[in-house]
Amino acid sequence: MTFAIIAHDGKKPEMVDFLLNNKDHLKGINLLATSTTGSHVEEMGLDVQKMMSGPLGGDAQIAAQVAQNKVDAVFFFRDPMGKHPHEPDVQMLLRLCDVHNIPLATNPASAQYILKGLIR
């Protein structure tokens, strides 16, 4: 299984907490992340394949993986209150998750439900 892990700057602490609380469940799962989020994941001791930073094309790189059915779930903790210059890439990623029927979590609560469902 492969999970994509992305978090806007204001949501990175929530992503780290989510991953720490579920570290045991993530063993054996390939993690794919945008650059900065991936660096936080590495600091936790998890292996991760890092793409470019989101604003530099990382969201689009992950979207391409989704379109090729190489991702089983996307955990994208978005900051709905912030402005993001790469919003078109974000929307493309969300759209492709819907097009390809890929589970998408945009907050810790939905991520927890998806993780529990996928690890059963």
Query: Residues with catalytic annotation?
Result: 59
31, 62 contact by CB (below 8 A) = no
Q: Which residue has the tokens 């492969």?
A: 2
CA distances to 12, 30, 54, 75, 86 from 47, in Å:
17, 8, 19, 16, 26
Structure tokens belonging to residue 50: 């890092």
CB 63 within 8 A of CB 93: yes
Name the token pair of 42.
């590495």
